[in-house]
Amino acid sequence: MKYREALRAALDEEMGRDERVFCLGEGIGERGGSYKVTEGLITKYGAGRVIDTPLSEAGFVGLGVGAAIAGRRPVVEILFVDFLLLAMDQVINQAAKYHFMSGGEGTVPMVIRTQGGTGNSLAGQHSQSLEALYYHVPGLKVVMPATPADAKGLLTAAIRDEDPVIFIEHKLLYMTDGEVPDGEYVIPLGRADIKRSGSDVTLVAWSHMVLKSLRAAEILAAEGISVEVIDLRTLVPMDVDSILDSVRKTGRLVIAQEAVKRGGVASDVAAIVAERAFDALRAPIIRVAGYNTTIPFNLALEKASVPQVDDIVAGVRTAVGATASARS
């Protein structure tokens, strides 16, 4: 099943299971969405549950927040994560804080599905990796699946969750294929997945960087370097224990993120490990991340601005080489 088909399956099953679930966003009804995730759902569930909205992110995200507070379970689609910036007050000051400021009596069970990352020369205003913005805000959960199976299982869990969830899908993942379990399939939020076991280096990644990390691990295996690839899957809540357990086994940590290095989630992962497993480290922590630059339109420059497989390979070699130098 393709990644986008897995997302559609989750939406379809949850809309069929729970009449409170509905979708809204720009062009998601008759057009089936720009990425065809909601294709066919309006025919099955009608325009009252698959709602085409005006081009007003602030308006329909606010509608979603209000509907969630009133007892519905909206799934809001934002065409690009860059456009979610137009609704930051609704997300950060309203959705994220309502449960706390209502004394725990109110909830906002909504999902904001959006896509981010580079690819296809869409330039600086359509190519950002902004997960760190939402990762920073208490009250929000942040999910970034890398595979079709994880996309289905995590979206199902996100729709059923009582908290607002920012669900970020990388634009280059929609057409990727993978095995997906039939029927109801739920992956609890907050559980990382070891996509490849290894003994020499822990490589932590999420979203599209997981695929690049797995390819890097294959290259490194031919050199005799055993890489353990951990897919965080959810940034909030984060499965810190899985990271620490792996680092205590391998003694080395490399973190790969597409977002710019400054102020990124990779920095927080590095700090957590430094605080809680410093004695296990046999080499400095390596962050492989995007340059601190606006994403260029030119495809060659776009690729150069974010980590590629060779960059991850180089980062792991550095971690292993630093250990070897320290021993000599």
- Among the options 57, 131, 169, 302, which is catalytic? 57
- 223 tagged catalytic: no
Tell me how far apart the terminal alpha carbons of the chain are, to the nearest angstrom: 49
CATH of the domain at 280: 3.40.50.920
Could you give the C-alpha distances from 232 to 58, 181, 212, 235, 291, in angstroms and in order? Answer: 30, 20, 14, 6, 22
For residues 91 and 158, state if they share a domain: yes
For residues 77 and 155, state if they share a domain: yes
- 77 tagged catalytic: no
Give the tens place of pLDDT for each residue, 181-197: 999 999 999 999 999 99
| Calpha distance 282→288 (Å, rounded) | 18
Give the tens place of pLDDT for each residue, 119-134: 989 999 999 999 999 9
The dihedrals phi and psi of 297, each to the nearest 5 degrees, come to -75, -40
| Calpha distance 84→33 (Å, rounded) | 16
In this structure, are residues 145 and 151 in contact, taking their beta carbons and an 8 Å threshold? yes
For residues 218 and 152, state if they share a domain: no
For residues 161 and 285, state if they share a domain: no
For residues 145 and 277, state if they share a domain: no
Tell me what pLDDT residue 325 has.
46
Q: pLDDT at residue 327 above 50?
A: no
- Among the options 126, 169, 208, 302, which is catalytic? 126
Domain that holds residue 16: 3-170
Domain count, the chain: 2
Which of 115, 139, 170 is the last residue before a domain boundary? 170
| Calpha distance 64→76 (Å, rounded) | 7
Mean of the pLDDT values across residues 301-322? Answer: 95
